[in-house]
Amino acid sequence: MGFTLVWTQKARETYDRLKADAISSLEARQRKRKPKASQAEGLFKQVKKCVDFLKENPRHPGLSTHEFHSKEHPHTPGGKVFEAYIQQSSPGAYRLFWCYGPKKDEITIIAITPHP
Helices (H) and strands (E) in the chain, counts: 2, 5
- Contact 82/107 with Cβ under 8 angstroms? no
Segment 13-19 mean pLDDT: 97
CATH number of 4-114: 3.30.2310.20
Q: How many CB atoms lie within 10 A of CB 55?
A: 15
pLDDT, tens only, 55-86: 999 999 999 999 998 888 888 888 999 999 99
From 3-12, 45-54, 66-75, the region with the lowest mean pLDDT: 66-75
pLDDT at position 56 is 95
Question: Is residue 111 very low, low, confident or very high in pLDDT (cuts 50, 70, 90)?
Answer: very high
Segment 13-30 mean pLDDT: 93
Alpha-carbon 88 to chain mean position: 13
- Enter the pTM of the model: 0.90
